[in-house]
Amino acid sequence: MELAFVAAIQHLPASQRAALILREVLGFSAREAAETLETTTASVNSALQRARATVEERLPDQSQQATLRSLDDEELGKVVEGYMDAMERCDVDAVVSMLTEDAAWSMPPMTTWYSGRESIVAFLSEWPLSGRWRWRHVPAQANGQLAVGSYTWDDEEEAYIPFALDVLTLRGTKISDITSFITRAEPPPERLHLAEWPDEPADPRRTAVAFERLGLPERLD
């Protein structure tokens, strides 16, 4: 499921969300969905119709699958390689040059997010690209989108260990959204603690979901 779809269904009531996922994502028949939800097929079909209308209003005009199909392998490779190279060099200007003007950067499970180039510049300069940490990256795919596994150097492990899975949403050849699924233990939300987030221990559950399931290595030497 694309992240845009995942975000859109958060706006649905529970009954509509359940009907949409069972019918559209898992492929249940109306009768099977009704049995699972302990309701009638008429109720399932009604909930599905209303859910579709709400989701369609909130989805972008073009899906990420359509965007990726419109670009050739060389163009997609330039986006991923350029992003990884700029992040590893802590080159804020290079990263920002790849973004749309209204780009957004979020970091689940945090609720904090950054919108617009100016805000993202401040975020990158103060935290991930401040020069305090060393980064390595591995290309991946997740939710039908381009993704990058981000690793930070750990002195005790003497290796780069997983920090976040960055899922990239494209608008043409520009990046419009970066969703970084953090795999470290979540610190208190104060800015001082956030600056030390890469020093937090790995969260095994988050690492399994974001790295192991995608076949990404558990460490880089």
Q: How confident is the model at residue 27 (pLDDT cuts 50, 70, 90)?
A: confident
Distance from C-alpha of 207 to C-alpha of 162, rounded to nearest angstrom: 7
145: left (phi over 0), alpha (psi -120 to 50) or beta: beta
Say whether domain 3-58 belongs to CATH 2.130.10.10. Answer: no
Instruction: Name the architecture of domain 64-214.
Output: Roll (3.10)
| Maximum mean pLDDT: which of 134-143, 178-187, 192-201 | 134-143
Q: What is the share, in percent, of the chain residues with pLDDT greater than 90? A: 49
Distance from C-alpha of 167 to C-alpha of 178, rounded to nearest angstrom: 6
Identify the CA nearest to 168 among candidates 192, 152, 148: 148
Domain boundaries, the chain: 3-58, 64-214
- pLDDT of the residue at 66: 73
Are 142 and 214 spatial neighbours (Cβ–Cβ below 8 Å)?
yes
* Model pLDDT for residues 75-121, shown as the tens digit of each residue: 999 999 999 999 999 999 999 999 999 999 988 777 778 999 999 99
Predicted TM-score of the model (pTM) = 0.74
Tell me the β-bridge partners of 135.
152
Identify the CA nearest to 131 among candidates 164, 74, 90, 80: 90
